[in-house]
Amino acid sequence: MPSGVFDLWLAELEPCDLTGERLLVAGDDHKAGWVADRFGPALRRGAAAVLGPNAQIEVVPRSQLAPGQAGPRRADAPAGGPALNPDYTFERFVIGEGNRLAHAAALAVAERPGHAYNPLFICGPPGVGKTHLLHSIASYARDHAGASVCCVTADWFTTAFVRALQTGSIDRFKAEHRSVDLLLVDDVQFLQDKRRTEEEFFHTFNALYESGSQLVFTSDRPPLDIDALERRLKERFASGLVADVAAPDFDTRLTILRKWALQEGYTALPRTVMERLAERVTGNVRALQGALARLVAVASLHGDRLDEDLLERVLAAGRTRPVAPSVRTIQDATCRCFDLTRDELISSARSARVAWPRQLAMYLAREHTNATLPAIGRQFGGRDHSTVLYAWRKARGRIANDPAAGDAAARLLDQIHSKASADPDG
């Protein structure tokens, strides 16, 4: 499926329990049922490919999880959160020009928590290694310094906080999160628009910082660009070192492929195939590893030869390299989907027939193009950046809470990516 659809609906799913061939997966409370209905067949095919033909997969809201199903855990899981990924270590992290500063800062923080770069804020697009660095810091500090760590996602922090309020265990929640040596939070941009959670997080930040504990955060954008986040939180995030992680260059991608192939035992991969794969898949590390896994799986299942011809067929079938759409492509697709003219879409009309499609188009333009807010506003009838930001917030909230709106967004995104891939200049 297009990466935009995956990022919007499936990227946040988390495996929580595996019993025999039954896999339990947790999702956002508002989306889980809809995701299970729309993407159930694809999820079942994926589970069957790994677990066997009798595999069953169940998607449930996170709020319905039993206490022992909060996430995949090990005996040495960090306090206050799910287990660290054992594959995410400094030894397995491939250093390149785009992540050298972030890696050096992360290692310095892991070796001397609370002394170097506090807080450390790592930002960059999805799939470039931010979570890998976060877990590497946590594992290293725990194993080499005996530090107590709490490594969670912003979504997990929010869910745990809300549950603590509902169950009257807020004092326990505060004690767990304000008594650790390191607090590491992934995807802090998802704290925005959650006022009570932001308030609690602000006080947790202050308590840990004043006690000398280390704070590490990741986000898909720099602190001051997280528009809907309280300014006092943004200022605290930006008060330490902000380290950017960029998409890997060709040499880094090739090194990642070679290292991962060695770790997974893919010894039959020709050098020319890995080089071609590194050339063709340029987006992020997850896309790169996913393409390699599909290539090996197809060759194994069908007995095909691992060569460049097979690679091209796999990439074409998997739509691994979708072309980024333009704002105009998004506008045209929105007009077709909602039976509007472009003049109507960019007009000042505020009727429901026009307002929702316009907000959705602005939301998708911000999420799936490189255009700035002012540039998007200019293409929507000369609107200013604050109008675009308001539309983005409204559409995001409606998509999260209204299954019909989410379905419309997914269908529209499919059309947009199909058009962009067929006409890269569109």
* pTM beyond 0.95, yes or no: no
> Pick from 93, 96, 187: which is nearest to 140 by CA?
93
Q: What integer pLDDT is reported at residue 30 of this predicted model?
A: 66
Cis peptide before 119 (omega within 30 of 0): yes
Residue 12, exposed/middle/buried by CB under 10 A (0-12, 13-18, 19+)? middle
- 301-310 contacts, C-beta under 8 A, 24 or more apart: 306/268, 306/269, 306/270, 306/273, 307/270, 307/273, 308/272, 308/273, 308/276
CATH of the domain at 393: 1.10.1750.10
> Pick from 384, 12, 382: which is nearest to 220 by CA?
12
Residue 172, exposed/middle/buried by CB under 10 A (0-12, 13-18, 19+)? exposed
Q: What integer pLDDT is reported at residue 8 of this predicted model?
A: 65
> Pick from 228, 235, 223, 178: which is nearest to 203 by CA?
178
Q: Same domain, yes or no, for 209 and 88? A: yes
Q: What integer pLDDT is reported at residue 74 of this predicted model?
A: 35
Q: Same domain, yes or no, for 255 and 296? A: yes
Q: Same domain, yes or no, for 87 and 229? A: yes
Q: Same domain, yes or no, for 61 and 167? A: no
Q: Same domain, yes or no, for 347 and 307? A: no
Q: What integer pLDDT is reported at residue 320 of this predicted model?
A: 41
Q: Same domain, yes or no, for 80 and 42? A: no
Q: Same domain, yes or no, for 131 and 197? A: yes
Q: Same domain, yes or no, for 80 and 113? A: yes
How far is it, in rounded angstroms, from Cα 84 to Cα 135? 6
Q: What integer pLDDT is reported at residue 109 of this predicted model?
A: 95
Helix (H) or strand (E) holding 18: strand 14-19
Helix extents (H) in 52-93: none
- At residue 322, the 3 state secondary structure works out as coil
Q: Same domain, yes or no, for 219 and 270? A: no
CATH of the domain at 189: 3.40.50.300
How far is it, in rounded angstroms, from Cα 184 to Cα 187? 10
CATH of the domain at 285: 1.10.8
Q: Same domain, yes or no, for 194 and 257? A: no
DSSP string, 190-206: GGTT-HHHHHHHHHHHH
CA 175 to chain centre: 28
Q: Same domain, yes or no, for 107 and 230? A: yes
Number of domains within the chain: 4
Low-confidence ranges of the chain (pLDDT < 70): 1-5, 7-8, 30, 66-82, 264, 266-268, 283, 300-304, 317-324, 418-426
Other beta carbons less than 10 A from residue 379's beta carbon: 19
- Domain with 305, as residue range(s), is 250-318
- Contact by Cβ (8 Å): 361, 335: no
Q: What integer pLDDT is reported at residue 300 of this predicted model?
A: 66
Domain boundary among 292, 318, 344: 318
- At residue 61, the 3 state secondary structure works out as strand
Q: Same domain, yes or no, for 33 and 81? A: no
Domain boundary among 318, 351, 374: 318
